[in-house]
Amino acid sequence: MKVQSKSLLLACMLAVGSMGAAPAFAAHGVPLNTTFSASGATSLTAGGITVACTSTFTLVSGANVANNTTVTQAVFTGSNPICASLTAQGLPWQVTYNSTTAATIQNVSIRTPLTTCAGNVSAAINSAASSITISGNVGSGCTASGVLAVSPAFQVITPN
């Protein structure tokens, strides 16, 4: 009886242990090892002033799936002269995929003539349209929004 109890206990421990040790497969951007351009109309509000610009971001997906996407360049252009004075700082910015449809761009920092907007930015991913929608706060006192078309075609997946 003791041997049977020990066997049952060992089987339960192995079952519970294997559930806890199951690998976590995170969402990641594909294709791997690719440079993407994400461009579109965006706006940044800082100090109560909203500036509409065309933003172009360079995103690079790494060769592996763990934390595989970074923003390596950000360029702001447009008819408003303030666009040219916006400067991306602290690049590269790490992209963390929360799911196949949501991501967080970490440690974004954009210097404006009035202040520096710094913080994490929320992004919605539309793999079918190969687009990224950014929205929300960029630290305290700043907000950003816009829709960016991504080229070449980009999607976020989870392994099967």
**pLDDT value at residue 28:** 74
The domain tally of the chain equals 1
| Domain limits for position 110 | 28-157
pLDDT digits (tens, 9 = 90+) for 65-97: 666 789 999 999 999 999 999 999 999 999 988
Specify which residues 54 forms β-bridges with: 41, 77
Cα–Cα distance, 31 to 4 (Å, whole number): 51
Residue 130 Cα to chain centre, angstroms: 14
Instruction: Return the exposure string of 116-128: e unless at least 16 CB atoms fall within 10 Å of the residue's CB, then b.
Output: ebbbbbbbebebe
Tell me whether residue 23 is in a domain: no
In a domain, 54, yes or no: yes
In a domain, 90, yes or no: yes
Mean pLDDT of all residues belonging to the chain: 82
Cα distance between residue 17 and residue 32, in whole Å: 32
Does 73 reside within a domain?
yes
Q: Is the pLDDT of residue 57 over 90?
A: yes
User: Is residue 96 situated within a structural domain?
Assistant: yes
Q: Is residue 122 part of a domain?
A: yes
Residue at 65 is within a domain: yes
